Structure 1
Amino acid sequence: MIRLTMLRLDGTKNIRHGTIRLTHDPTIGSVTGIYGPNGTGKTTVIETIRTLRLLMLGAPLDGEQASMLVQRTPDPHEPRQATIHAEFLIDGTPTAYTVVLATDGSGLKPERETITIRKNGARKRTLIDCWMLQNTETGLLTPVTAPAGAWNSLTATAHTGDYLTQEAALAHSQHRSLLFSPGLRDRLTRLSGLLHSQTMLPAARGKALADNLDPLLHTLTRLNSYAEHGIRTVTTRQAASVCFGYTPFMHDGRFDILDIGRPCFVPAGMRMEIDRMIRQANTVLPTVIPGLTLHCDMKDDTDDEGHEGVRVFLYSQHDGTRIPFWAESEGIRRIIGILSLLVRMFNEPDTLIAVDELDSGIFEILLGDMLRTLANRGLGQLVFTAHNLRVLEVLDRRSIVFSTTDPDDRFVNPTGVHAGNNLRDMYIRAVSMGDGNGLASRTVRSHLAVALMQAGEDAE
């Protein structure tokens, strides 16, 4: 089992520093809700998880959207950096992955990556610490790895050092992780096999093999598989598509969108995925919205270029009445759009689902019942942001994180909550009275009224 247990963010968007601990307690489940005012870093947490997934896949960090993760500086030409520190439990072993991301106008690039483990209660041990060093004369970038003794001994074998330099330059130019590069992992796997096949190894190299190379390969493989098969994120960008007549849709491990306003043409390979989505929806929907089912008309067709595919039209049926799916409420479209992800979270232990603004358009009583069920019975992990405070009454206080107005300490856990206390009432009272330790900036209604009046006068 893998669990993401902690994120520490420095220099990401409007977060100068913030630490968020994610719930993974069998007694209260593995659901973490993040609450707070607008602009206090909630969405940044979801985007950070998305960036972590790309890094651990060895995939490029995608252009402008990824670059926006790094905090801006007054000088647009000044290089900017952000640090993400993620802690995991991998089969019970505490493991940490730290990455320093930099952007200089050409995009976001990993500049330094570190992986540490703490095995069997021993002290934390660095498996690898790798950063790029620029030659002042030639301008070329060279990877530097630590612990130096261990990796110098290992990379001296079978020209591994030369390959590491080449792969580092390629990964840097392609804006992706070096450590999670498939080519590097394959090379290190072959190196491990070569060393294990030798009957007489120098003591230093044998120790480096056992203490660094083999556990590093195991960690990289597990985290890469976790990112590929277990981590899924839904950002506000994807959620907004619902408002424009599209619904998010999982296909081949990534998000596509279905046009729900008219019959749309999709590749034939998506037919089975759409069938699965319909079956899942119709298993769960009637339990949360009685009488509602989802249906789909599909027929084989070809597009204007002669490609074979399927023409798809979604509609719902409510108490015998057929309604085009685009005419359904945003809340119903939202539920169906993320339903397959929630099904995975409920049934699969090695799953992390991160959803921004989970409560958008969903009736608060239904939202509370869904989250209580996922927390009490779900096998995977769910991280979400929301504004609807109903959830504060149904989840354990240890499952709640508050974002604050302090950019140097963005996340706090509820304190002083005792049995019988209503966390929702306590939160509202703290914010309203202005004694919430930075939980929110209080709005002065008289100031707001004057500002609205002045804005109206300016419009005349």
Structure 2
Amino acid sequence: MIRLTRIELDGVKNIRHGAIDLYKPDRNGDGRTADEVSSVTGIYGQNGSGKTSVIEAIQVLRLLMVGEGLKGERAGILVNRAGGAGSYASLHAEIQVDDTLAVYTVVLEACGTGLHVVRETLAVRPDGDRRRILVDYRMARDEETGLLTPTVSPTGAWNSLTALQHADDLLRQEAALAYSQNRSLLFSKEFSTQFTRISGRLHAQDALPAARRTALDRTLDPLLDVIRRLARFADNGIRVVTTRQGASVCFGYTPFIHGGRFDILDIGRPCFVPAAIRREIEQMVEQANLVLPVVIPGLKLECEMKEDVDEAGEAGARVFLYSSRGGVRIPFWAESEGIRRIVGILSLLVRMFNETDTCIAIDEIDSGIFEVLLGDILRVLAQRGRGQLVFTAHNLRVLEVLDHKSIVFSTADPDNRFVQFANVRAGNNLRDMYIRSVSLDAENTRLAQKVKTAHVAVALSRAGRVAGGRDE
């Protein structure tokens, strides 16, 4: 079992500090073990209070653990709004890996091309044991030469390991390359390859000095195992839908996942897809037709495919989607935004429901979806699912159907961005409690900046006079 249990952000956009513990009940009372019970966490709060930053942080976490660089479009998502080049953000994640808690912390520096990884720490805390740092790596700039050099601790263990097979030189080279490419050193393929080779050579030796044996058994081997597990989890299990991907629905596209990444499928016209992903589209339609008629009675998805080749001569198919209900078939692009949105995320929700080692993160999950339907779907996922779901939303219906421990609220305090309600009793309506707290603007919660309706009316009136050229 592997599961994200905590995420902590510092210096991320307008979040000076914020931490969220992702809720997971011990068991659901239906015979399943704790490892088989779903984890559902919803994040609520006013616009601009940091909800989306949590989803984007999970996306950055995934990119780092699969060894991809934080450049271009990916680069700005964690930068503090008050800073530019030279500003820093840190991301701290705790991930339960079987009986061991893996603790990964990364510090990112904004630069002209993206985000540099300037520090990474990976520690473990086995059940019943103390936290143990496996590696703490940072890029340090020499004040005299201006050159960046990596420093790695625990010093004794890593000095013992890097003294072999020119490992110190290889580590420096890979650290410099990872820094220049805006990616992780610890999760780079070259790092794992080189130190896996060193581990194999050390294990092949009959006698090792005590310090080196300890470094191998207590540092290197556990590190390589955790890195492999986390990289596999990120590649196969973590999937993120951001508002950018969700917004594509409005423009005649639907999010489509294949090969571990998101793409968009043009649903406004027959579009060409490579032969390699044809089966995945067929599977998407098959899954949709098992679930759609249940949540939206009578609705089915139809897919027409015609063999074709692209401009380069590569084989594939032209795909066009239709929706069918009551004997009437219409192009899928003509369907409502809510239905297109549901189809776009449906395959991810199916995975979350059935697979334990899956973490699905969706920003604005309620966009365009009927609130009663959304509440019913999330209740089923929370009560019967096996994986993990993290979402943001504005629709308050969900507060009435999920356990209060599944709900996190963003606040107006940048130093403490995320809180949960305490002392919620059986029978309390979390939705009413939240609305009351926001309306009262209580100092102990500060869930949102209070908006005065009189001020809104004055502002709207003044704006109208500007539009009419009558502002004084």
Using the size of structure 2 for normalisation, the TM-score is 0.95
SS in 2 for 1:118: strand
The one of 107, 117, 126 aligned to 2:124: 117
- Is 1:385 the counterpart of 2:398? The answer is no
Higher mean alpha-carbon deviation, 133-142 vs 163-172, is at: 133-142
| Counterpart Cα distance in 2 of 1:386 and 1:399 | 13
Alignment of 1:2-41 (within 5 A): 2-27=2-27, 29-41=38-50
Structure 1 position 406, deviation (Å)? 0.6
Is the Cα–Cα contact under 8 Å of residues 53 and 77 in structure 2 kept in the other structure?
Answer: no
The one of 234, 239, 244 aligned to 2:241: 234
Is the Cα–Cα contact under 8 Å of residues 75 and 113 in structure 2 kept in the other structure?
Answer: no
- Is 1:53 the counterpart of 2:62? The answer is yes
Structure 1 position 267, deviation (Å)? 1.3
Is the Cα–Cα contact under 8 Å of residues 51 and 66 in structure 1 kept in the other structure?
Answer: no
**Once the two structures are aligned, what percentage of the paired residues are identical?**
63
Using the size of structure 1 for normalisation, the TM-score is 0.98
For residue 447 of structure 2, what is the amino acid of its counterpart?
L
Q: How many residues align?
A: 458
Alignment of 1:175-190 (within 5 A): 175-190=182-197
Q: For residue 194 of structure 1, what is the aligned residue in structure 2?
A: 201
Is the Cα–Cα contact under 8 Å of residues 305 and 320 in structure 2 kept in the other structure?
Answer: yes
- Is 1:208 the counterpart of 2:215? The answer is yes
- Is 1:364 the counterpart of 2:371? The answer is yes
Is the Cα–Cα contact under 8 Å of residues 110 and 176 in structure 1 kept in the other structure?
Answer: yes
Q: Calculate the aligned-residue CA RMSD, in Å.
A: 1.2
SS in 1 for 2:294: helix
Is the Cα–Cα contact under 8 Å of residues 113 and 179 in structure 1 kept in the other structure?
Answer: yes
Alignment of 1:243-282 (within 5 A): 243-282=250-289
Structure 1 position 64, deviation (Å)? 4.2
| Counterpart Cα distance in 1 of 2:251 and 2:201 | 55
Is the Cα–Cα contact under 8 Å of residues 72 and 80 in structure 1 kept in the other structure?
Answer: no
The one of 325, 333, 341 aligned to 2:340: 333
For residue 211 of structure 2, what is the amino acid of its counterpart?
A
| Counterpart Cα distance in 2 of 1:39 and 1:134 | 35
| Counterpart Cα distance in 2 of 1:192 and 1:366 | 53
| Counterpart Cα distance in 2 of 1:407 and 1:205 | 45
SS in 1 for 2:127: helix
| Counterpart Cα distance in 1 of 2:114 and 2:70 | 8
| Counterpart Cα distance in 2 of 1:26 and 1:402 | 22
The one of 418, 426, 431 aligned to 1:424: 431
Is the Cα–Cα contact under 8 Å of residues 93 and 103 in structure 2 kept in the other structure?
Answer: yes
Q: For residue 414 of structure 1, what is the aligned residue in structure 2?
A: 421
Structure 1 position 305, deviation (Å)? 4.1
Is the Cα–Cα contact under 8 Å of residues 17 and 417 in structure 2 kept in the other structure?
Answer: yes
1:415-452 superposed Cα distances (whole Å, 9 cap, x missing partner): 12101111111111111222271111121111100000
Is the Cα–Cα contact under 8 Å of residues 74 and 114 in structure 2 kept in the other structure?
Answer: no
| Counterpart Cα distance in 2 of 1:378 and 1:64 | 33
Q: For residue 447 of structure 2, what is the aligned residue in structure 1?
A: 439
Show structure 2 runs of 5+ residues with no match: 29-37
Q: For residue 94 of structure 2, what is the aligned residue in structure 1?
A: 87
| Counterpart Cα distance in 1 of 2:177 and 2:153 | 20
Is the Cα–Cα contact under 8 Å of residues 56 and 77 in structure 2 kept in the other structure?
Answer: no
Structure 1 position 23, deviation (Å)? 1.1
Is the Cα–Cα contact under 8 Å of residues 411 and 417 in structure 2 kept in the other structure?
Answer: yes
- Is 1:139 the counterpart of 2:146? The answer is yes
SS in 2 for 1:121: coil
Show structure 1 runs of 5+ residues with no match: none
Q: For residue 74 of structure 2, what is the aligned residue in structure 1?
A: 65
- Is 1:459 the counterpart of 2:471? The answer is no
